Structure 1
Amino acid sequence: MHTKHITSQLVAALADTPVVVINGARQSGKSTLVQMLARADPEPRRYLTLDDPVVLKAARSDPAGFINGLQGQVTLDEVQRAPELFLPIKAAVDRNRQPGRFLLTVSADVMLCYFALLEMLFLLVRLPSWERNPGKRLVKAPTVFLPDSGMLCYFLAATAESLAARPGLPGGIVETWVLSELLKHVAFSSLRLSLWHYRTQTNIEVDFVLENRLGQITGIEVKASATVDGKDFKGLRHLQETESALFQRGIVLYAGREVVPFGDNLWALPLSLWWAPQRQ
């Protein structure tokens, strides 16, 4: 690693960013770079490496306690050895966004570490599978989302002009936008909601499941078109029938304008309800 080419960029990033990550292969000079930077930094920066068995054991046994016990600016070397640290780091930064708080090095050979880093940076969301009935044959793998619909449009080369020329909006982009709105709602709601997805092994699915602290659930399907019919409620009806004690309501969000009932506690609602002024 040619440190002279990146040192100035690293110093600049530490000056305005709470968490800075150096990613590269092992033996590429990451540790040398961060230790050199710590010696040259006018403010003391503690250096810990997870190659140290004692440090690694402490980090894995109590990740939150380990992070909360670190004061001031800290460098954590080879942090991919303890992916459990990423959520406590995120929580610490949420409480105190001091620039340069954490400098992390990551060796590029652990896929789980990449996922955890992307989640910590709010660039990726893993939506867990909802299951409360052990007798059901459900897909237990999480659904992975890129939660920023604008970034998704960029990666898909979906410009304002190309979207305007389409007969309707791409379903994946609309679903991603709904996810981002639901995540905001979950974060600020006083109901202590949790967000899930639902899919059986026979591919009956519901895009999103909101669950309150009593275990009661609301299923949400997303449809990008302006029309909706009974087939769009297939997954919601399945959830209603198999989880009747917990099911509160099922909603299909669509690009139409009317609120339409589709049976007992099943509704088609316009996506525009997110932003349109409400009628008195």
Structure 2
Amino acid sequence: MLARYLTSTVQRLAASFPIVTITGPRQSGKTTLARTVFADKPYVTLEDPLEREFAQEDPRGFLARFANGAIFDEAQRWPALFSHLQSRVDEDRRAGRFILTGSQQFGLLVGVSQSLAGRAGITRLLPLMAGEIPAVAEKRLGINQLMLTGGYPALHTQAILPQDWFASYVATYVERDVRQVMNVQDLTTFQRFLRLCAGRTGQLLNFTGLASEAGISQTTARAWMSVLESSGLVHLLPPYHRNFGKRLVKTPKLYFLDTGLACWLLGIRSEEVLALHPLRGELFETWVVSEFLKSRYNLGHSPDLYFWRDNNGVEADIVFEVDTRLQVVEIKSGQTVTSDYIKAGKRAAAFAGEVALMPWLVHGGDDNYQRSGVDVIGWRALGEKLLSSK
């Protein structure tokens, strides 16, 4: 098993809460993590129709087998589980007793918030950060190959081509999650919608244009986007709310949480194609934003990441608060740090004035240093920087 940064957060929550929930996209490693950290607990998957039938027909008998706790995988498949667990943990508050996992964040978290508020510690496991991939640590994997492969654990532990794995993944995702969450009749249209979303990663989300190109209504486009969000495939990065006296763009930016999936949906199958692809800059930005999100979830923090753009074109790719100040991040995909990159980093932080910290410039090369008031960070060093920051 690959070592996961989330392990320490899961262990910390299991020492405080009677229930720990692990959400995240399918195949991100939730089951493996849960079964490794809690190897002494019995494991039950509620995807199993026999187990689910037993649970629905005789919930008392089903749960009586697990007086000392258990791992319930895909817990959202039995919604009544949450209310049954409520009474049990109220009678016995032992920490770390039940572990719930689920790939549909919406279904799982609705059940937790309605029945298990204050009783469950909530975590989210996304695909691998670069630092969790041995080939990156050993410098056998460059940034283009990493973006092309993505971070799903199977692609770094099994001898399988990314194009083969993603083809199966998307087919499985569409057939299982989409049909479970909402009644999508035309799967071909949904797949086209998914590919159109990939072509917009790293860009402002325009529902009007997206719906029109997909041949669906805006209402449907918004509903389908919510499915992609709850399934852990995309993230909508909101604009920062303080205006600093400027007129702001109020539209969120769309990011895929795995660049390998985005590349596959875009038809990118080789490093050579990726290197020359017109969306390479957006894909690198997507990778950086996903590293930020993964690091925050792994540390047990809320995402709380934003971007900034005003109507005069002043923008910052990532903004987040550090106490009463703002950390601004500029992202450049090039490997060589030029004076223009440094100017862009300084310009990105200028809107925040005195509350801005030294801006970060994350780039596609290996250099790490401070230059002219800008903290230059190479892509390999980003994860360590994020996990060591407050």
Whether TM exceeds 0.5 here: the answer is yes
Q: Shift of residue 189 of structure 1? A: 3.2
Among 346, 359, 372, the residue aligned to 1:250: 359
Identity of aligned residues (%): 21
**1:29-68 to 2 correspondences below 5 Å:** 44=56
**1:255-266 to 2 correspondences below 5 Å:** 255-264=364-373, 266=374
Highest Rg: 1 or 2?
1
Structure 1 gap segments, 5+ residues each = 1-13, 18-40, 46-66, 75-85
Q: 2:367 is paired with a residue of what secondary structure?
A: coil
Q: 1:190 to 1:247 in 2, by over 3 A?
A: farther
Among 28, 47, 51, the residue aligned to 1:16: 47
Q: 1:193 to 1:235 in 2, by over 3 A?
A: farther
**1:184-263 to 2 correspondences below 5 Å:** 184-189=294-299, 194-212=304-322, 214-234=323-343, 236-263=345-372
Q: 1:120 to 1:193 in 2, by over 3 A?
A: closer
Q: Shift of residue 165 of structure 1? A: 6.6
Aligned-partner Cα distance in 2 for 1:170–1:258? 20
Structure with more helix by fraction: 2
Aligned-partner Cα distance in 2 for 1:226–1:158? 21
Between 173-182 and 155-164, the greater mean CA deviation after superposition = 155-164
1:270 partner letter: G
**1:125-136 to 2 correspondences below 5 Å:** 125-133=235-243, 135-136=245-246
Per-residue CA deviations over 1:90-135 (Å, capped at 9, x if unaligned) read 4257869xxx9x9544477533221211100011110000131352
Aligned-partner Cα distance in 2 for 1:124–1:112? 13
Per-residue CA deviations over 1:29-53 (Å, capped at 9, x if unaligned) read xxxxxxxxxxxx66548xxxxxxxx
Aligned-partner Cα distance in 2 for 1:169–1:113? 26
Aligned-partner Cα distance in 2 for 1:131–1:234? 24
Q: 1:112 to 1:164 in 2, by over 3 A?
A: closer
Aligned-partner Cα distance in 2 for 1:191–1:216? 18
2:172 aligned residue? none
Among 377, 385, 389, the residue aligned to 1:269: 377
Among 200, 206, 223, the residue aligned to 1:113: 223
| TM-score, L = length of structure 2 | 0.43
Number of equivalences: 202
| TM-score, L = length of structure 1 | 0.58
Q: 2:320 is paired with a residue of what secondary structure?
A: strand
Per-residue CA deviations over 1:199-230 (Å, capped at 9, x if unaligned) read 11122211111223x24221112211112223
Q: Shift of residue 149 of structure 1? A: 0.4
1:181 aligned residue? 291
Aligned-partner Cα distance in 2 for 1:256–1:42? 55
Alignment root-mean-square deviation, CA: 4.0
Q: Shift of residue 163 of structure 1? A: 4.5
Aligned-partner Cα distance in 1 for 2:324–2:289? 20
Aligned-partner Cα distance in 2 for 1:119–1:136? 30
2:80 aligned residue? 71
1:269 partner letter: I
1:149 aligned residue? 259
1:91 aligned residue? 109
Q: 1:139 is paired with a residue of what secondary structure?
A: coil
Q: Shift of residue 137 of structure 1? A: 1.4
Structure 2 gap segments, 5+ residues each = 1-44, 58-75, 84-103, 113-119, 123-176, 186-218, 385-390
Q: Which has the higher contact order (CA 8 A, sep 6+)?
A: 2
Structure with more strand by fraction: 1
1:198 partner letter: W
